[in-house]
């Protein structure tokens, strides 16, 4: 698997985690103790996305 394909696939998976955790955070009522757990998931997914950009920088000849 190329770096580009790996980056695309990992980014897809992290995007799914981020997207669902954001939706659940928006729906969770204030004071719900699960909010903190959701925030941890969301923060970790964002950190992983940043890490991905460092580990697999975009090549100049890479498209999409």
38 binds another protein (CB under 8 A): no
Q: Are 57 and 3 in contact (CB under 8 A)?
A: no
Closest CA to 56 of 4, 17, 15: 4
DSSP element (H, E) containing 64: none
Longest dimension (CA), the chain: 48
Which C-beta is closer to another protein: that of 26 or that of 30?
26
Q: Residues 3, 23, 32, 34: which binds another protein (CB under 8 A)?
A: 23
Q: Does 49 bind another protein (CB under 8 A)?
A: yes
Residue numbers at the binding site for another protein (CB under 8 A): 7-9, 11-16, 18-20, 22-23, 26, 49, 58, 62-64
């Amino acid at each position: 698997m190329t770096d580009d394909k790996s980056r695309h696939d990992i980014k897809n998976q992290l995007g799914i985690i981020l997207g669902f955790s954001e939706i659940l955070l928006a729906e969770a009522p204030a004071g719900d103790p699960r909010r903190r757990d959701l925030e941890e998931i969301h923060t970790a997914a964002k950190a992983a996305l940043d890490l991905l950009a460092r580990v697999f920088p975009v090549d100049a000849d890479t498209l999409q």
